[in-house]
A and B are shown apart, each in its own frame.
Chain A
Amino acid sequence: MLELKNVTKTVDGADHIRDVTLTLRHGSLNVLLGPTLSGKTSLMRLMAGLDRPTAGAIFFDGENVTGVPVQKRNVAMVYQQFINYPAMTVYENIASPLRVAGVAQAKIDAEVKRAAELLKLTPYLDRTPLNLSGGQQQRTALARAIVKNAKLVLLDEPLANLDYKLREELRAELPKIFAETGAIFVYATTEPHEALLLGGNTATLAEGRVTQFGPTIEVFRKPNDLITAMTFADPPLNTIVLPKRGSNFELDGGVNLPVPAGMAGIADDSYTIGFQPHHLSLTRKGSGAPIRAKVSTMEITGSESFVHLDFADARWVMLAHGIKSFEPDETVEVFLDPQHIMVFDSSGRSVAQAKVG
């Protein structure tokens, strides 16, 4: 178990990591999700022992390891750049941490072959990394991390430099590989979609803070605050600030959005309403009234259409199935199912969460 207790890291007076408390268990996959400069890499460096926290403490299996350098911890790291020894064969690249540890040849051989099998590298063991594709180079780095038998494996955007399809393939395999080793896996990404595909747990990061941590799909569906909801949304979260009066949120043009059951008790005030692009639709669902919005741009993927809409001061994205052929500046009627809205108060805290399913 890796425990971070009130960990803060300050560099030249700037907070890179702010008061992070996090507990990660063995055999778990933990995603750090946030945009560039939100603190993902800084947090991993602290977990690894590459940096020492300015304040707070780090425990590994109950032992205080704050300030213990990386060499004395059992940690493996994989980076966005493919890092291998260019002069060594794939076999020797994978074997290198075992050689350093003075493991017997027979055991090295068995371990390398097992990892190569797991990462589909068996046919390439005699090649050198630069004679491999990017995907195979990163598989080599992953295999080396696995044979190290580290208790903590840190993956810093490991698929970011790979082609879309290769990413898809490796991403599907990674959780299986992780599950077999029993280590604590930490995986940093800027992509909400990748977090959802990986599953496991997710910690959302914003400006050096962990804003929420829990099972990935739960953090996605029930964000505690607006910043978490915005971090965990791709396309960007649709939002609009609306006054609540009685049983309605008042939209422009006299259109009302009924306050969903379960939120009826909240005070009359101004709230930020957030919702996902697929919860805006062209057909009425639930008790939503039609909202007249103006089309700004259309993006069609073949299976789906992303309709960019302007409504009052807000810019929204609607995800519709199939191909919709709206013209820019056309006015369309769309419906928002009140059961699927998230409501945040003026401080950004969730007053109630979107319905699951």
Chain B
Amino acid sequence: MARIDLDHIRHAYGGNRGPNAVYALKEVHHSFEDGGAYALLGPSGCGKTTLLNIISGLIHPSHGKLLFDGRDVTELSTQERNIAQVFQFPVIYDTMTVYDNLAFPLRNRGVPETDVDRRVRETLDMIGLADWAKRRARGLTADQKQKISLGRGLVRSDVNAILFDEPLTVIDPQMKWVLRSQLKQLHRQFGYTMIYVTHDQTEALTFAQTVVVMFDGEIVQIGTPAELFNKPKHTFVGYFIGSPGMNVLPARVSGKTATIGSQTIELPGGTGSSGAAKLELGIRPEFVRIGTTGMPASITKVEDIGRHKIVRANFEGQEIAAIVGEGENIPADAKIAFDPAGINLYADSWRIEIGA
């Protein structure tokens, strides 16, 4: 496995490098540590798949270099980069047996047949298809085929990295849990360098140690799930991660207080005047308390989704969401309060530190 360095990578489709080029990927300068589990998370068109394809060699970047363990691989083909890839839709040989599908990448590289057999059997156990080894792939269900694809990605132990492009999209929710936790166990056991592209926050946060959030061709934040949840660097991260996303409310700030509409909120600390055009207070629904004391708000809707309720309310003329536990009551004349631990401030959409 290898450390992967992205050295000032930029990419514009269509080979346009001129001043009017539209960059699908703006400047990306980042390192993926050897043995790390990373997720690239963002909406359609954010550049995450472009970045993955640059790492795999399917796309040659317009600018910048790609290094594996310090070696420049920018000009190398996918084959020469020695990586494994798992795509959104199953890529398998329908006429081959499940066993032979898994053996293929190994035999291709001249691995001795005894080692092939051992690796294939281990992988079959991992993906839960041991009983299907002799079946032809044709006629298997979509999720079984995708498991074979995953297996092919995992069968070689000598690759530099394993790249996943939305690998669980076609998998049913309950099977996702099983496969995700198997991927995690594999990562722990074998220390693969894994890069996993997804638009699904749950998949990204649960899979990766480090999540790279992308928006509009740029990395907006790199962090652990806890950092992305507690301290989103940009309001986009606040919105994109969390379900519902962070409440972002226009505010005026003076010393240790913030004012929203006619309400004044104590801040956990002071902040210097930033001179920003736009100041906002961000608070996740998990930190909005509903009770009998606090600020007035009128509840517009309560969605009972089983393990908790999502309360939608109007607060100072704005929509605000709160999460209330399964057994908790919502008083008739409800008031809201903000847990200071969950308050973030944003100047022109970027987070500013709140001091002591």
What residue of chain B has the Cβ atom nearest to residue A302's Cβ?
B229
Would you call B143 an interface residue if the criterion is a C-beta within 8 Å of the partner chain's C-beta atoms?
yes
Contact B141 A37 (CB under 8 A): yes
Add 6 more A-B contacts to A37-B141, A133-B44, A134-B44 (CB < 8 A).
A196-B305, A234-B174, A296-B181, A299-B206, A300-B226, A302-B227
Contact B226 A302 (CB under 8 A): yes
Which of B199, B205, B245, B306 has its CB near the most chain A CB atoms (within 10 A)?
B306
Query: What's the minimum C-beta distance from A159 to chain B, rounded to whole angstroms?
Result: 12
Q: How many residues of B contact A (CB 8 A)?
A: 46
Contact A300 B206 (CB under 8 A): yes
Would you call A297 an interface residue if the criterion is a C-beta within 8 Å of the partner chain's C-beta atoms?
yes
Chain A interface mostly helix, strand, loop or mixed?
Answer: mixed
What total of A-B pairs shows CB separation below 8 Å?
Answer: 101
Q: CA separation between A35 and B327, bound complex, in Å?
A: 29
Contact B143 A296 (CB under 8 A): no
Would you call B132 an interface residue if the criterion is a C-beta within 8 Å of the partner chain's C-beta atoms?
no
Contact B180 A302 (CB under 8 A): no
Q: CA separation between A85 and B336, bound complex, in Å?
A: 48
Q: CA separation between A106 and B356, bound complex, in Å?
A: 64
Contacts of B173 in A (CB 8 A): 190-193, 234
Contact for A302 among B177, B230, B327, CB less than 8 A: B230
Query: What's the minimum C-beta distance from B207 to chain A, rounded to whole angstroms?
Result: 8
Contact A164 B199 (CB under 8 A): yes
Contact for A278 among B229, B244, B245, B307, CB less than 8 A: B307
Contact stretch, chosen from B26-34, B121-129, B235-243: B235-243
Contact A217 B306 (CB under 8 A): yes
Contacts of B216 in A (CB 8 A): none
Contacts of A114 in B (CB 8 A): none
Contacts of A297 in B (CB 8 A): 181, 184-185
What residue of chain B has the Cβ atom nearest to residue A191's Cβ?
B173
Q: How many residues of A contact B (CB 8 A)?
A: 43
Given contacts A35-B174, A220-B306, contact A301 B202 (CB under 8 A): yes
Contact A303 B199 (CB under 8 A): no
Contact B305 A308 (CB under 8 A): no
Contact A306 B44 (CB under 8 A): no
Cross-chain pairs A/B with CB under 8 angstroms, 5 sampled: A36-B142, A165-B239, A235-B174, A278-B326, A298-B184
Would you call A288 an interface residue if the criterion is a C-beta within 8 Å of the partner chain's C-beta atoms?
no
Contact B174 A301 (CB under 8 A): no
Contacts of A20 in B (CB 8 A): none
Would you call B7 an interface residue if the criterion is a C-beta within 8 Å of the partner chain's C-beta atoms?
no
Q: Mark B209-230, 1 if CB is under 8 A from A, else 0.
A: 0000000000000001111111
Given contacts A220-B306, A299-B184, contact A168 B327 (CB under 8 A): no
Contacts of A277 in B (CB 8 A): 307
From residue 179 to 201 of chain A, which have CB atoms closer than 8 A to chain B? 190-193, 196-197, 199
Would you call A323 an interface residue if the criterion is a C-beta within 8 Å of the partner chain's C-beta atoms?
yes
Would you call A24 an interface residue if the criterion is a C-beta within 8 Å of the partner chain's C-beta atoms?
no
A-B CB proximity, top 6 nearest: A302-B229, A299-B206, A302-B225, A196-B305, A278-B307, A163-B199
Q: CA separation between A193 and B337, bound complex, in Å?
A: 27
Q: CA separation between A220 and B206, bound complex, in Å?
A: 24
Q: CA separation between A221 and B326, bound complex, in Å?
A: 12
Query: What's the minimum C-beta distance from A295 to chain B, rounded to whole angstroms?
Result: 11
Contact A197 B305 (CB under 8 A): yes
Q: Mark A37-69, 1 if CB is under 8 A from B, else 0.
A: 100000000000000000000000000000000
Would you call B269 an interface residue if the criterion is a C-beta within 8 Å of the partner chain's C-beta atoms?
no
Q: CA separation between A166 and B200, bound complex, in Å?
A: 11
Given contacts A36-B143, A236-B174, A301-B206, contact A165 B43 (CB under 8 A): yes
Would you call A4 an interface residue if the criterion is a C-beta within 8 Å of the partner chain's C-beta atoms?
no
Which of B207, B239, B245, B307 has its CB near the most chain A CB atoms (within 10 A)?
B307
Query: What's the minimum C-beta distance from B304 to chain A, rounded to whole angstroms?
Result: 5
Contact B43 A303 (CB under 8 A): no
What residue of chain B has the Cβ atom nearest to residue A35's Cβ?
B172
Would you call B158 an interface residue if the criterion is a C-beta within 8 Å of the partner chain's C-beta atoms?
no
Query: What's the minimum C-beta distance from A234 to chain B, rounded to whole angstroms?
Result: 5
Q: Mark A121-158, 1 if CB is under 8 A from B, else 0.
A: 00000000000011000000000000000000000000
Q: Mark B153-197, 1 if CB is under 8 A from A, else 0.
A: 000000000000000000011100110110011001000000000
Contact A300 B205 (CB under 8 A): yes
Given contacts A302-B205, A302-B225, contact A36 B305 (CB under 8 A): no
Query: What's the minimum C-beta distance from A278 to chain B, rounded to whole angstroms?
Result: 4
Would you call B5 an interface residue if the criterion is a C-beta within 8 Å of the partner chain's C-beta atoms?
no
Would you call A317 an interface residue if the criterion is a C-beta within 8 Å of the partner chain's C-beta atoms?
yes
Query: What's the minimum C-beta distance from B293 to chain A, rounded to whole angstroms?
Result: 22
What residue of chain A has the Cβ atom nearest to residue B328's Cβ?
A357
Would you call A293 an interface residue if the criterion is a C-beta within 8 Å of the partner chain's C-beta atoms?
no
Contacts of A192 in B (CB 8 A): 173
